[in-house]
């Protein structure tokens, strides 16, 4: 048992660090680190750079474009990218639909979609939640009725993240209403440019447009866009949820955010002294830091079990709960750190090249909005209460 | 980087587990606590036979040569079985101390006696009024012209102090209470004239003692390490003890988790096992998560406690003690709560685990104490820098 990197691991780290340093555009990393608004291009530019290097999909089989890295190498890659301020890789293509297509898609689907996922030429979104189906996802009502060579899809999806950029949506639809509700669900790939698809923005409490409603009205989807078998969509959806778990804890990004929190707290003054020296505040930072140190080890323990060939199980739910609680705690402390200027709501100043007025230091601008935005993390991806149900059943046998 | 145990480590863990399963039932433990000595000479012989008494002693001195990870494995098992033997003071602290800074004579004479089970030691590092401060030492040590040292002062809450054949105490050879310099370590034979003590039971089934030293004369060979430079050594020994206690706490917490889960599955109310109720399921999940985070920190402390970098060591050990202090408190309180009235009884082992976990938070500094120490260690590190070059056009 040893936390130190081996010579080979150190060499790998230096290789990744060298690549990131040489290629990650500074205007992108600055936006990430300073919590500025990221546009579609910011993600795509970085993902294409990783694709050119062959590093966009570490978790995929090598034959399909993966890297063949072991869990420690993947961990090092995550650490280096996050520390440098690289944007997160958009999960929907590489982490979500990609592995499902590799496992359950037919050859035609794989040939058509996988290369465009790797190259970021298609932007994917996730059609899961519906207005009446949140935590009880299997109750979804969007219907797909087979008519000749097509499914006719009608229904409404919601909370669809960045659907405004999307070319494709992987979508859970109901193809049968009799029997168990899970058994009537199928996994369809829908072209977002099809007639009948309407994307309507949902403005969240931070004033931003990140999620959407997606209306599907008589959308014609070719039957070749059905993944696997009709009625097996729930199985694929569960596979998707359990497949990509290495980054669920977000430890590497939280480390960078914690460092940035300290950077802010060192510049803010309370009673004429740096806020970071205020015991009441530094105690809060220290507690989060200690929780994060523990989560980093817990995360590595899960990775180590993965290397021994054990499938990632409900332990991943522990990572999700603790990871998101820490992310929220850090955003909360950042907002608290800047004091009253956090009140100023100037969304235009969070974009590129803002030359107008600011209130307080530049770093303070987006912090309140970010705090509000991050309330989402304990809700999405299976709320933390659902995660507790998963742990209660899957680990504790209750 | 790897999280695997070596074959030797797995064998060690297996042999300790098996020995305690055979000899250290809850009833056997309660019988040991009820004896006058408060520990079991037979168990101690068993530890000697297993090689546990030489765990931190290097192979060159016929020991096991174990470090933080080996100690963690042993102590977690001790936690699961609520072992009350004087192992922490004798082996983790004193034998480790002697192996690290003892003179050749001290090592040659004492280590075999410790390893064969004929000598137990206790460490007195705290004083009345000093709370958890290892530098708050008012006990004085003055060297006479004949080379003898004369000790005066008192030591507080010396765990297993009254069963020790030899005491290790910190005393001041210069400076005043709170100073980092001027602290020295000595062996004191409790049979020496001037050594007096008050032995008492602790709520977790152990024994401790208040020790007073009045004009105690000890020879010059009783000095451990360099006179006046004892504090870093005391801190190292305390950190090893903390890392060990963190592992012991994890053993207790895991036992509490298992017992509580079992109770949720078997206890029936309203016609169903109470584990069917979601409010209890989620509490149980929180309990589990505290156990997992605690285990991670015990592992971190075990891996970092042997680090030559004192700041890194201190940061990891204090972080672990802080988190385990808090998570241990949560697990203990919820274990009682979920057991209901049964959790309140002395009859069930649950309450005994609860008491041990609670005691561990108090030993060598509680969560608040270590939060302070962690922050102080963090301040020794450079702050992260996010300075950025300004674009020229922006300044026009």
Task: Categorize the per-residue pLDDT at A312 as very low, low, confident or very high, splitting at 50, 70 and 90.
Answer: low
| CATH architecture for the domain at B232-379 | Up-down Bundle (1.20)
Contact residues, chain A, for B298 at CB < 8 Å: none
Contacts of B275 in chain A (CB under 8 A): 396, 398
Residues A376, A348, single domain; the answer is yes
Q: Which residues of A touch B9 (CB under 8 A)?
A: 1
pLDDT for res A248: 81
pLDDT over 80 (residue A242): no
CB contact under 8 A, A304 and B294: no
Residue A348 lies in a domain: yes
What pLDDT is recorded for position A353?
77
Q: Residue B375 pLDDT > 90, yes or no?
A: yes
The yes-or-no verdict on residue A123 having pLDDT over 90 is yes
Q: Is residue A311 very low, low, confident or very high in pLDDT (cuts 50, 70, 90)?
A: low
Residues A316, B109: Cα–Cα separation, whole Å: 52
Predicted confidence band of residue A68 (pLDDT cuts 50, 70, 90): very high
Residues A171 and A209 both lie in one domain: yes
Residue A61 domain boundaries: 7-89
Q: Are residues A141 and A278 in the same domain?
A: no
Question: Which of B291, B293, B317, B321 to mutate to probe the A interface, most A CBs <10 Å?
Answer: B293
Q: Say what the pLDDT of residue A245 is.
A: 61
Whole-number average pLDDT of chain A: 94
Whether pTM > 0.90 for this model: the answer is yes
Give the tens place of pLDDT for each residue, B126-181.
Answer: 999 999 999 999 999 999 999 999 999 999 999 999 999 999 999 999 999 999 99
A307 pLDDT higher than 80: no
Q: Residue A114: inside a domain, yes or no?
A: no
- Residues A389, A266 share a domain: yes
Average pLDDT over residues B354-362: 98
A302: closest chain B residue by CA = B3
Same domain, A385 and A314: yes
Structural domain count, chain A = 3
- Please check whether residues A389 and A342 belong to one and the same domain: yes
The reply to whether B7 touches chain A by the CB within 8 Å rule is no
d(C-alpha B189, C-alpha B168), whole Å:
9
The three-class DSSP label of residue B200 is strand
Work out the average pLDDT over B174-197.
97
Q: List the single best residue of A297, A334, A391 to mutate versus B (max B Cβ within 10 A).
A: A297
User: Under CATH, which number does the domain B7-120 receive?
Assistant: 1.10.540.10
Any chain A CB within 8 A of the CB of B298? no
- Give the mean model confidence (pLDDT) for residues B376-380: 85
**Based on the domain organization, do A253 and A327 belong to the same domain?**
yes
SS3 category, B167: strand
Average pLDDT over residues A163-173: 98
Q: Taking CB atoms and an 8 Å cutoff, what residues of chain B touch A30?
A: 388
Q: Is the pLDDT of residue B389 over 60?
A: no
Asked if A380 and A319 touch (Cβ cutoff 8 Å), the reply is: no
Q: Given an 8 Å threshold on Cβ–Cβ distance, is B1 in contact with A397?
A: no
Residues A300 and A380 in one domain: yes
At B70-114, the pLDDT tens digits run: 999 999 999 999 999 999 999 999 999 999 999 999 999 999 999
Do A69 and A31 share a structural domain? yes
SS (H, E, C) chain A: CECCCCHHHHHHHHHHHHHHHHHCCHHHHHHHHCCCCCCHHHHHHHHHHHHHHCCCCCCCCHHHCCCCCCHHHHHHHHHHHHHHCCCCCCHHHHHHHHHHHHHHCCHHHHHHHHHHHHCCCCCEEEECCECCECCCHHHCCCEEEEECCEEEEEEEEEEEECHHHCCEEEEEEECCCCCCHHHHEEEEEEECCCCCEEEEEEECCCCCEEEEEEEEEEEEEEHHHEECCCCCHHHHHHHHHHHCCCCCCCHHHHHHHHHHHHHHHHHCEECCEEHHHCHHHHHHHHHHHHHHHHHHHHHHHHHHHHHCCCCCCCHHHHHHHHHHHHHHHHHHHHHHHCHHHHHCCCHHHHCCCCCCCCCCCHHHCCHHHHHHHHHHHHCCCCCHHHHHHHHHHHCCCC
Query: pLDDT band for position B387 (50/70/90)?
Result: low
What's the confidence (pLDDT) of residue B395?
45
Residue ranges covered by each domain of chain B: 7-120, 123-228, 232-379
Q: Are residues A390 and A299 in the same domain?
A: yes
Residue labelled with tokens 């060939």: A309
B2 in contact with chain A, both atoms CB, cutoff 8 A: yes
Per the CB < 8 A criterion, the answer to whether A212 and A201 are in contact is: yes
Verify that A193 and A290 share a domain, yes or no: no
A336-356 tens-digit pLDDT: 999 999 999 999 998 877 888
Domain co-membership, A78 together with A144: no
Task: Tell me if A41 is assigned to some domain.
Answer: yes
Mean pLDDT over all residues of chain B?
96
Q: Find the CATH number of the domain harbouring A153.
A: 2.40.110.10
CA geometry: angle at B365 spanning B352 and B111, to 5°? 80
**A213 pLDDT above the threshold of 90:** yes
Mean pLDDT of A283-294: 98
Q: Does A330 touch chain B (CB under 8 A)?
A: no
What is the architecture, at CATH level 2, of domain B123-228?
Answer: Beta Barrel (2.40)
Report which of residues B391 and B31 the model is more confident about. B31
**Domain boundary residue, one of A39, A71, A89:** A89
Beta strand B223-224 pairing with B207-218: unpaired
**Per-residue pLDDT at A370:** 97
Interchain contact, B285 vs A388, CB within 8 Å: yes
Asked if residue A98 is part of any domain, the answer here is: no
Contact A338, A268 (CB under 8 A): yes
Question: Which structure tokens are listed for A129?
Answer: 């939640």
| Contact residues for A16 (Cβ-Cβ < 8 A; gap 6+) | A76, A77, A80, A81
Q: What is the reported pLDDT for A246?
A: 58
Residue of A9, A251, A316, A392 for testing the chain B interface, max B β-carbons within 10 Å: A392
Residue A266 near chain B (CB below 8 Å): yes
């Amino acid at each position: 048992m040893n936390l130190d990197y081996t010579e080979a691991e150190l060499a790998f780290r230096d290789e990744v660090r060298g690549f990131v340093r040489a290629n990650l555009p500074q205007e992108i990393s600055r936006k990430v680190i300073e919590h500025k608004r990221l546009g579609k291009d910011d993600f795509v530019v970085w993902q294409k750079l990783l694709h050119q290097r062959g590093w966009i999909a570490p978790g995929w089989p090598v034959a399909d474009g993966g890297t063949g890295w072991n869990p420690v190498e993947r961990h090092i890659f995550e650490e280096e990218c996050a520390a440098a301020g690289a944007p997160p890789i958009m999960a929907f293509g590489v982490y979500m639909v990609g592995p499902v297509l590799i496992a359950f898609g037919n050859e035609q689907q794989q040939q058509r979609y996988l290369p465009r996922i790797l190259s970021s030429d298609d932007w994917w979104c996730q059609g899961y939640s519906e207005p009446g189906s949140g935590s009880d996802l299997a109750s979804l009502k969007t219907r797909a009725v087979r008519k000749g060579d097509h499914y006719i899809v009608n229904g409404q999806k919601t909370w669809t993240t960045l659907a405004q950029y999307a070319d494709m949506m992987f979508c859970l639809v109901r193809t049968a209403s009799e029997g168990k509700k899970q058994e009537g669900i199928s996994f369809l790939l829908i072209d977002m440019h099809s007639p009948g698809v309407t994307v309507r923005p949902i403005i969240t409490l931070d004033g931003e447009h990140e999620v959407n409603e997606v209306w599907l009205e008589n959308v014609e989807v070719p039957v070749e866009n059905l993944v696997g078998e009709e009625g097996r969509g729930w199985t694929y959806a569960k596979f998707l949820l359990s497949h990509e778990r290495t980054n669920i804890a977000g430890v590497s990004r939280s480390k960078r955010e914690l460092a940035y929190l300290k950077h802010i707290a060192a510049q803010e003054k309370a009673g004429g002294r740096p806020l970071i020296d205020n015991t009441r505040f530094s105690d809060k930072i220290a507690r989060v830091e200690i929780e994060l140190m523990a989560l980093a080890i817990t995360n590595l323990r899960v990775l180590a079990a993965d290397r021994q060939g054990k499938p990632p199980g409900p332990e991943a739910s522990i990572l999700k709960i603790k990871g998101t609680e820490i992310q929220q705690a850090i955003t909360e402390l950042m907002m608290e750190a800047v004091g009253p200027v956090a009140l100023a709501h100037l969304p235009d100043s969070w974009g590129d090249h803002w030359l107008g007025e600011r209130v307080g230091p530049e770093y303070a601008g987006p912090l309140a909005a970010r705090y509000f935005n991050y309330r989402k993390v304990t809700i999405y991806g299976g709320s933390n209460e659902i995660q507790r149900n998963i742990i209660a059943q899957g680990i504790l046998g209750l | 980087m790897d999280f695997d145990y070596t074959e030797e480590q797995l064998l060690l863990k297996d042999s300790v587990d098996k020995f305690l399963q055979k000899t250290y039932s809850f009833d056997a433990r309660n019988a040991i606590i009820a004896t006058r000595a408060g520990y079991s000479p037979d168990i101690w012989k068993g530890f000697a036979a297993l090689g546990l008494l030489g765990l931190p002693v290097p192979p060159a001195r016929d020991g096991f040569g174990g470090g933080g990870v080996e100690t963690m494995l042993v102590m977690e098992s001790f936690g699961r079985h609520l072992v009350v033997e004087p192992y922490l003071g004798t082996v983790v602290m004193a034998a480790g101390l002697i192996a690290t800074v003892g003179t050749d004579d001290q090592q040659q004479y004492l280590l075999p006696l410790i390893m064969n089970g004929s000598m137990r030691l206790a460490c007195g590092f705290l004083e009345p009024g000093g709370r958890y401060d290892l530098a708050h030492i008012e006990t004085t040590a003055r060297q006479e012209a004949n080379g003898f040292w004369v000790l005066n002062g008192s030591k507080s809450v010396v765990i297993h102090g009254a069963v020790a054949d030899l005491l290790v105490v910190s005393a001041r050879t210069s400076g005043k209470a709170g100073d980092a310099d001027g602290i020295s370590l000595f062996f004191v034979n409790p049979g020496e004239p001037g050594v007096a003590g008050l032995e008492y039971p602790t709520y977790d089934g152990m024994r401790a003692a208040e020790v007073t030293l009045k004009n105690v004369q000890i020879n010059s060979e009783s000095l451990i390490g360099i006179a006046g430079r004892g504090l870093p050594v005391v801190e190292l020994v305390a950190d090893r003890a903390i890392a060990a206690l963190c592992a012991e706490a994890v053993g207790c917490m895991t036992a509490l988790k298992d017992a509580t889960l079992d109770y949720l599955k078997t206890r029936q109310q309203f016609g169903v096992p109470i584990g069917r109720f979601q409010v209890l399921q989620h509490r149980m999940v929180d309990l589990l998560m505290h156990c997992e985070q605690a285990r991670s920190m015990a592992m971190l402390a075990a891996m970092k406690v042997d680090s030559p970098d004192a700041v890194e060591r201190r940061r990891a050990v204090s972080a672990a003690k802080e988190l385990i202090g808090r998570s241990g408190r949560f697990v203990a309180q919820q274990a009682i709560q979920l057991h209901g009235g049964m959790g309140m009884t002395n009859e069930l082992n649950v309450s005994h685990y609860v008491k041990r976990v609670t005691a561990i938070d108090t030993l060598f500094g509680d969560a608040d104490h270590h939060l302070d120490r962690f922050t102080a260690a963090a301040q020794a590190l450079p702050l992260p820098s996010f300075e950025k070059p300004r674009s020229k056009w922006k300044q026009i």
